[in-house]
Structure 1
Amino acid sequence: MMGEVFRIELQACDPARNLWRFYMIEAERDLFDDLIVRLHYGRIGTRGQTKTHIVADTAEAMRLVRACLKRRQSAPKRIGMGDRKDSCDPGQ
């Protein structure tokens, strides 16, 4: 059964510094019932980068997602701003 299992979307926006970043993690099942976990990240309004991981089960997918989210916790140190739950509008 194909279909989306989950999706997490994060954004970091600071108009004063022209900082517009997105980060998305999504998981879905393929035709062979494997889990595909995709990481999308980059500047809002661009295609950004994508990394794809094929994992055997939900437990492995959750380990990967936790590792990615742990890395996101260091965003304030790396880019000077953390993620926001509400959306950012680059046109503001």
Structure 2
Amino acid sequence: MNKSILASAALAALVSTTMVPVSEAAAKEKCYGVAKAGQNDCGNLAGTHSCAGQSKVDNDPGEWKLVAKGTCVDLGGMLKAEAKKKYKASKKA
């Protein structure tokens, strides 16, 4: 009986902690070109790293941060499609 109660409590805790980030993530979007050096959220378009905090320069167009949905352009950034176009164009030049 105690194991059942513990399992139920653990499941409830797990569900409550995983549900909040999912809803928060839905209200955010990747914004390229606004991350300060060392403050990117994950891997870059170039594929030179795959971890947060590894950007080397401020406002690199290949680095991104999560921002509130709908605010990226206002912050001076780009959404992924535009950032990819810029990245590909810079590679051809």
TM-score, shorter chain, exceeding 0.5: no
- What TM-score results when the alignment is normalised by the length of structure 1? 0.29
- What TM-score results when the alignment is normalised by the length of structure 2? 0.29
Q: Look at both structures and tell me which one has the larger radius of gyration over its CA atoms.
A: 2
